[in-house]
Amino acid sequence: MRENLHHFFRAARGAGVRLSPAESIDAMRAVAKVGFSDRTILRDTFLLTLAKSQDEKKALGDCFDLFFNQPEPSQAAPDDGDADDSESGAETTESGSDSDAGSDAAQDLGPLAQMLLSQDRNEIAAAIANASSAASLSDIRYFTQRGIFSGRILDAMGIQRLRDDLDDLTATNPALAERLAAALDGLRDTVREAVSQALMLYGREEAENLRNEILRNAPLSRIEPRQVEQMRHLIRQIARRLRERYSKPRKRQRRGHLDVRRTLRRNAAWGSVPFLTAWKRKHRDKPKIVALCDVSGSVARVSDFFLLLIHSLHEVVSDVRSFAFSGHLIEVSDILEAKSPEEAMAEIMAKVGFGSSDYGGSLADFEKQWMSAVTPQTTVIVLGDARSNNLDPRADILRRIGERSKRLVWLNPEGRMAWGWGDSEMPRYSTFCTVVRQCATAQQLERAVSDIVATYQ
Amino acid sequence: MAEHRPSASIEAVESGLAAQGYIASRQIATAVYLAQQIEKPILVEGPAGVGKTELAKAIAAWRGLKMIRLQCYEGLDEAKALYEWKYAKQLLYTQILKDKLGEVLGGAATLHAALDQLHDFGDVFFSKEFVEPRPLLQALEQTAGCVLLIDEIDKSDAEFESLLLEILSDFQVTIPELGTIVAVAAPTVILTSNSERDLGDALKRRCLHLHIGFPEQKLEERIVESRVPGISQTLRKQMVGFIHEIRTLDLKKLPSVSETIDWARVLVLLQATELGHEMVKDTLNVLLKYEADIEAAQPQVSTFIAKASRQGVFG
């Protein structure tokens, strides 16, 4: 059972419950107290000792149900020993016990064939469970391994012998051979199912990690429609991580000078002997972000994710104003805040999206109406490829924005190689920016935003 | 009632708490049982008013232990939660003992000799006599054991959480000047949280994590039965059914168990035997705490009463 518990812990990790060895020790101590006999108590015990949040409790509960629905290999352990024995001495023992198979021709068949013909479900299930643990099925991680593990399990169950039997039988007893072949197909299906279930239990985390890793480094602009939802999920994850990292109470203010007034008052009780000291606190800027997003056809998808990330970050940065532009510029903060991401994106796109971009015109729009939003505490982020269709880039406005703000960051989804070629105005703009970065993948996006938030910590 | 040794089984916990008027679900009873068996604190999370604090009180009453309560708030620190030096007393004693000090040091000819003599004197002023124990230290000093309730831990700062870690894992506190103080008898620790702030992993992993949500209908009926004995069975069924319907609405603050109990008391006071439309409308403010919520619930009242009564007949 101990072995089984370890398998369960691994399965729980696969289900997304973060378990440290110390927690598994606690769980084992607790289980030792309550015993295994009562499933509901066992389940409660795991939920109490292992899961640390509601989500985790749910995941762990599902995982528990899935896991303990499988037949336990340890129960069938004594059979295991028997099976090994009988394999060596198959001919001698099996000839007698075989009468229920109903056929004389079945006399010198291998153990697996006997088992299949006798159609004892429990025995077969136990045999599969044994073979699974022999093939260490719990090591399965990726869906590509399904074939290998199915093969290993069938090998461990003695499929080689079964094939020989089948060959012999087709010659001597075609009817029985047919029955056996059908049973074998059934067995294959059952094994495949067991492997799939194991993959679900043990492989979920790795598969997800792999997929996220690929997605994280894929160019945002070239994401296929079916991946968009996964990408949104990933972006939300990134936002959550950033939030966890930066929303910690910003209390650990660095000490400034001694606050004489407060120190004296605090120590009045003991004759103003300064036992307790009070310090002046250093002032820290509140984060303010103004985001300008190019939503013209070429970069629309990237800005989509970008706006999503910025607005998922609301809990860290309370003061975010977002603007979208292609031909002209509008404020979209309200739309993003009031609606679900999908609806908001659709509305923004309908209003200003997909046009051909006019950076000069849009910057002029911004200067005319919203320049006051930029203060010395503001970080201004511009997201765009700086391709202005050979119109006047109005770099002078960008210079003024840069001068008013704390930082001016330009995130460009194009590679550095492309900057300055064709109608790209990037070199002209970049002289006025504090930071210029390439930002084509989710990972780069995360780093860029993380840096921006970090400057306020 | 005064039973100090850990209870024998989960059922014993359940009946023991029930005797104190706390109807525990299976999950809660298992948590309390395990907490005693493997000596771990319980971190209780859940919406306000589902009986997180009550649980600690019930355990204390059932096992005949003293309950020590530490209410957390922003800015709570070591000095208020753990221990503090009695500065004033130290100061006073130095004043009084000034002359004595002169006598002790009188024999010393040089500053060096005086210092040596002072060293022999030891750290009198940083001894146990001058420590003012606050709730956490008090809890460790209880010889008979106690129930330590750390209420609304999510209201405190992250620094305070780290301060708790030593107590939660080993039931001991280290005071730099005195050394480590280990609990005489390990207290039963209950931490409560409304999930206002995410607690640190280090804290969570030292505790059993118990989530108390709104109870199921049957359980809630039993809770009302034990808390408001005078209530008729039909009314009880109806009102609990009604509240369960209310909880399906999208409200700012859903009514929790404490509101259920309050409402039951109010209905008993009004000598109601059945749920009536007018009466519900008049007393809705006991259940719902926001004007907007009351407005949202008003139009549904009749349907909910009807549903609840139907359940009462067939359920």
Does B210 reach chain A within 8 Å, measured CB to CB?
yes
How wide is the angle at C-alpha A34 spanned by C-alphas A29 and A36, nearest 5°?
100
Query: How crowded is residue B276: how many other Cβ atoms within 10 Å of its Cβ?
Result: 14
Which token pair is A271? 């004759």
B37 vs A contacts (CB less than 8 Å):
30, 33
b/e burial code for range B191-212 (CB count within 10 A of at least 16 → b): bbbeeebebeeebbbbbbbbbb
User: What is the distance in angstroms between the Cα of B103 and the nearest Cα belonging to chain A?
Assistant: 25
| Residues B217 and B246: beta-carbon distance below 8 Å | no
| Residues B55 and B189: beta-carbon distance below 8 Å | no
State the Cα–Cα distance between residues A314 and A275, nearest whole angstrom. 41
- Tell me A318's DSSP state: S
Does B12 reach chain A within 8 Å, measured CB to CB?
no
> Between B220 and A377, where is the model more confident?
B220
State the Cα–Cα distance between residues B196 and B216, nearest whole angstrom. 24
**Residue A165: predicted pLDDT:** 85
B45 vs A contacts (CB less than 8 Å):
54
A269 vs B contacts (CB less than 8 Å):
87-88
Q: Where are the beta strands (DSSP E) in chain B?
A: 42-45, 66-71, 83-85, 131-133, 146-151, 172-175, 179-182, 188-193, 208-211
CB contact under 8 A, A47 and B158: no
Q: Which helix (H) or strand (E) holds A289?
A: strand A288-294
B211 vs A contacts (CB less than 8 Å):
54, 57
Residue entry with tokens 């999930």: B195
Query: How crowded is residue A314: how many other Cβ atoms within 10 Å of its Cβ?
Result: 14
Does B38 reach chain A within 8 Å, measured CB to CB?
yes
State the Cα–Cα distance between residues A33 and A337, nearest whole angstrom. 50
Q: Answer yes or no: is pLDDT of A141 > 60.
A: yes
User: What is the distance in angstroms between the Cα of A14 and the nearest Cα belonging to chain B?
Assistant: 19
**Residue A1: predicted pLDDT:** 66
From B30, B40, B198, residue closest to A26, measured CB to CB: B40
Per-residue pLDDT band for A101 (boundaries 50, 70, 90) equals very low
State the Cα–Cα distance between residues A127 and B306, nearest whole angstrom. 56
**Residue A107: predicted pLDDT:** 58
Query: How crowded is residue A42: how many other Cβ atoms within 10 Å of its Cβ?
Result: 18
Q: Which of A83-87, A143-147, A310-314, A436-440 has the lowest mean pLDDT?
A: A83-87
Distances (CA, A) of B236 to A324, B25, B264, B308: 57, 19, 8, 10
Spatial neighbors of B280 by CB under 8 A, at least 6 apart, are B242, B301, B305
| Residues A306 and A319: beta-carbon distance below 8 Å | no
Please provide residue A183's backbone torsions phi and psi, each rounded to the nearest 5 degrees.
Answer: -65, -35
CB contact under 8 A, A270 and B209: no
Per-residue pLDDT band for A457 (boundaries 50, 70, 90) equals low
ipTM entry: 0.81
**Residue A57: predicted pLDDT:** 87
Distances (CA, A) of A365 to A230, A323, A369, A408: 35, 11, 6, 18
CB contact under 8 A, A269 and B40: no
CB contact under 8 A, B205 and A52: yes
**Residue A194: predicted pLDDT:** 85
Does B92 reach chain A within 8 Å, measured CB to CB?
no
Q: Answer yes or no: is pLDDT of A456 > 80.
A: no
Does B1 reach chain A within 8 Å, measured CB to CB?
no
CB contact under 8 A, A44 and B30: yes
From B34, B45, B159, residue closest to A45, measured CB to CB: B34
CB contact under 8 A, B91 and A271: yes
CB contact under 8 A, A48 and B159: no
State the Cα–Cα distance between residues A108 and A92, nearest whole angstrom. 9
Spatial neighbors of A411 by CB under 8 A, at least 6 apart, are A306, A381, A382, A383, A437, A438, A439, A445, A448
DSSP B2-61: ---SPPSSHHHHHHHHHHTT----HHHHHHHHHHHHTT--EEEE-STTSSHHHHHHHHHH
User: What is the distance in angstroms between the Cα of A270 and the nearest Cα belonging to chain B?
Assistant: 6
Distances (CA, A) of A174 to A301, B62, B72: 63, 75, 80
Output B280-286 pairs: Cβ under 8 A, ≥24 positions apart: B280/B242, B280/B305, B286/B259, B286/B262
Q: What pairing do the DSSP bridges indicate for beta strands A329-331 and A319-325?
A: antiparallel
User: What is the distance in angstroms between the Cα of A59 and the nearest Cα belonging to chain B?
Assistant: 14
Average pLDDT, chain B: 86
Does B88 reach chain A within 8 Å, measured CB to CB?
yes
Section B155-159 average pLDDT: 84
User: What is the distance in angstroms between the Cα of A313 and the nearest Cα belonging to chain B?
Assistant: 16
Average pLDDT, chain A: 78
Does B202 reach chain A within 8 Å, measured CB to CB?
no
User: What is the distance in angstroms between the Cα of A75 and the nearest Cα belonging to chain B?
Assistant: 27
User: What is the distance in angstroms between the Cα of B209 and the nearest Cα belonging to chain A?
Assistant: 5
CB contact under 8 A, B157 and A20: no
Per-residue pLDDT band for A247 (boundaries 50, 70, 90) equals low
Query: Is the dihedral angle over the CA atoms A356, A360, A363, A365 positive or is it negative?
Result: negative
Query: How crowded is residue B213: how many other Cβ atoms within 10 Å of its Cβ?
Result: 13
A243 vs B contacts (CB less than 8 Å):
none
Which token pair is A166? 């089948």
State the Cα–Cα distance between residues B78 and A418, nearest whole angstrom. 58
pLDDT in tens, B228-276: 988 888 889 889 999 998 998 888 888 999 999 999 999 999 888 888 8
From B157, B198, B208, residue closest to A48, measured CB to CB: B208
State the Cα–Cα distance between residues A272 and A276, nearest whole angstrom. 10
* Whether the predicted model's global pTM rises above the 0.80 cut: no
State the Cα–Cα distance between residues A278 and A256, nearest whole angstrom. 10
From B40, B87, B197, residue closest to A275, measured CB to CB: B87
CB contact under 8 A, B27 and A47: yes
Per-residue pLDDT band for B32 (boundaries 50, 70, 90) equals very high
Q: Is A255 helix (H, G, I), strand (E, B) or coil?
A: strand
**Residue B87: predicted pLDDT:** 81
Please give the share of chain A, as a percent, with pLDDT higher than 90: 3
b/e burial code for range A164-177 (CB count within 10 A of at least 16 → b): ebbeebeeebeebb
Q: First and final CA of chain B: distance in angstroms?
A: 36
User: What is the distance in angstroms between the Cα of A35 and the nearest Cα belonging to chain B?
Assistant: 12
Residue of chain A minimizing CA distance to B206 = A23
**Residue A317: predicted pLDDT:** 73
Residue of chain B minimizing CA distance to A56 = B209
pLDDT in tens, A248-266: 555 555 566 788 888 888 8
Section A138-167 average pLDDT: 84
Section B59-73 average pLDDT: 93
Quick one: which of A426, A336, A433 has its CA closest to A380?
A433
Please provide residue A74's backbone torsions phi and psi, each rounded to the nearest 5 degrees.
Answer: -65, -30
The upper half-sphere exposure of residue A284, i.e. CA atoms within 13 Å in the direction of its Cβ, equals 15
Instruction: Give the strands of the sheet with A407-412, arranged side by side.
Output: A329-331, A319-325, A288-294, A378-383, A407-412, A435-438
Q: Is B229 helix (H, G, I), strand (E, B) or coil?
A: coil
Q: Answer yes or no: is pLDDT of A81 > 70.
A: no
Interface test with chain B among A25, A34, A42, A48, by most B beta carbons within 10 Å: A48
Q: Answer yes or no: is pLDDT of A94 > 60.
A: no
Please give the share of chain A, as a percent, with pLDDT higher than 70: 86
Burial of B258 (0-12, 13-18, 19+ CB in 10 A): middle
Q: What pairing do the DSSP bridges indicate for beta strands B131-133 and A407-412?
A: unpaired
Those residues of chain A whose CB sits closer than 8 Å to some CB in chain B are: 18, 20, 22-23, 26, 29-30, 33-34, 40-41, 44-45, 47-49, 51-54, 57, 244, 248-249, 251, 269-271, 273, 275
Residue of chain B minimizing CA distance to A275 = B87
Does B95 reach chain A within 8 Å, measured CB to CB?
no
Q: Answer yes or no: is pLDDT of A52 > 80.
A: yes
B198 vs A contacts (CB less than 8 Å):
244
State the Cα–Cα distance between residues A361 and A412, nearest whole angstrom. 19
**Residue B7: predicted pLDDT:** 58
Query: How crowded is residue A200: how many other Cβ atoms within 10 Å of its Cβ?
Result: 16
Per-residue pLDDT band for A78 (boundaries 50, 70, 90) equals very low
B40 vs A contacts (CB less than 8 Å):
26
| Residues A360 and A388: beta-carbon distance below 8 Å | yes
> Between A310 and B176, where is the model more confident?
B176
Which token pair is A401? 């924005």
Residue entry with tokens 């009550």: B54
User: What is the distance in angstroms between the Cα of B109 and the nearest Cα belonging to chain A?
Assistant: 30
CB contact under 8 A, A48 and B31: yes
CB contact under 8 A, B91 and A40: no
Interface test with chain A among B28, B34, B86, by most A beta carbons within 10 Å: B34
User: What is the distance in angstroms between the Cα of B173 and the nearest Cα belonging to chain A?
Assistant: 21
CB contact under 8 A, A22 and B205: yes
Burial of A100 (0-12, 13-18, 19+ CB in 10 A): exposed
